Amino acid sequence: MDDINTLKYKVGGLLYIPAFKDGIADKILKRKYRNLTSVCFCLEDSIMDDAVESAEKQLISTLSEIKTRASDLRSLPLIFIRTRSGAHFKAFSEKLGDVSDIVTGFVFPKFNNINGKEYFGILSDLNRSANKKFYGMPILESIAVADKRMRSRNLCEIADIIGQNKDLTLNVRVGGNDFCRLYGLRRNCRQTIYDICVVRDILTDILNMFCADYVVSGPVWEYFGTDISDPWAKGLIRELELDRLNGFIGKTAIHPCQLPLIFNSLKVSSEDYNDAISVLDWRSDRAGVIKGGSIKAPRMNEVKCHTDWAARIKILGEIYGVR
């Protein structure tokens, strides 16, 4: 297993699957989903309250089949489980038994300054009793984060909780649809989340607080289809471009057709990769700048400014490739 500094970038496009779905193990094992890097089995919003128990049983069956039939556990995508609350997380984790061996971690919905300590406390207890390490991925999507009257204070308190558990935090995630729901808003397939000013404002503050120290994953894109020349794909590609520009890495996916586009967005350009290597291999004792970029678009590489950027580009290039 990779260390957290590499693993956090491998989440990439996280495919959400309702836990009650059957036949998923076969699709994962036979690699039916192109560019699947990680999967999240959801026991929360995608499951009606009365169906939780049956969804749990199906999920345990799915995980058991994956573990039993997999020829090499290292070739599996990263597997996460999204539970409903701290109490549900604790109760369900005790039901997993040996199938927990293939689980990378857990997704914490509606994460805030009140329930955050509970989530990570349960995760820490689970790690103390396990023979492997489990990671957490908090989702910031509640009114406590959205409402500007209390956002700054609450984000600071959330950052303190996550900071105390940095070695267990694989990604910080955001709930774009949840933020839109709070204001009765929704983007169409020709618009991006950045066109919704009130939501963009929330995302900006989250990035400001977390993207320097964590991988922050982009919000879900709710449109899909079969033809990547259609508006759904063009809109996703545009939003992915803005995600990367603003500091998001990776994205929640709600349909397998989105995965290749998300994966491709994580590839780095050859000029970025070459410049990153140049910055990381800096040898000059005098010059702090050097020319980089392409012949048509030369640019300045500055070692003091671009080292963190270069380290991230190098890791992404090694994982997703160079274009």
pLDDT in tens, 187-245: 999 999 999 999 999 999 999 999 999 999 999 999 999 999 999 999 999 999 999 99
| pLDDT at 288 exceeding the cut of 80 | no
Average pLDDT value for residue range 156-160? 98
User: Where do you find CATH 3.20.20.60 in the chain?
Assistant: 4-265
Q: What is the reported pLDDT for 38?
A: 98
Indicate whether 1 pLDDT > 70. Answer: no
Contact 245, 41 (CB under 8 A): no
Residue 99 CA, chain-centre distance (Å), reads: 23
- Read off the DSSP letter of residue 283: -
* pLDDT score recorded for residue 127: 97
Across 134-161, average pLDDT? 97
Distances (CA, A) of 316 to 70, 78, 265, 270: 27, 17, 10, 12
Q: φ and ψ at 233, to 5 degrees?
A: -75, -40
Which of 213, 232, 236 shows the shortest CA–CA distance to 224? Answer: 232
- Structure confidence at residue 285 (pLDDT): 67
The rounded distance, in Å, linking the Cα atoms of 225 and 14 is 18
- Report the C-alpha gap between 291 and 302 in whole angstroms: 9
- pLDDT at residue 313, rounded to an integer: 97
Confidence of residue 282 (pLDDT cuts 50, 70, 90): confident
For residue 296, the model assigns a pLDDT of 82
Contact in structure between 159 and 209 (CB atoms under 8 Å): yes
Under the banding of pLDDT at 50, 70 and 90, the label for residue 84 is very high
Residue-wise pLDDT for 101-132, tens only, equals: 999 999 999 999 999 999 999 999 999 999 89
Task: Identify the pLDDT of residue 77.
Answer: 98
CATH number assigned to the domain with residue range 4-265, chosen from the 4 options 3.90.120.10, 3.20.20.60, 3.40.50.970, 3.60.20.10 = 3.20.20.60
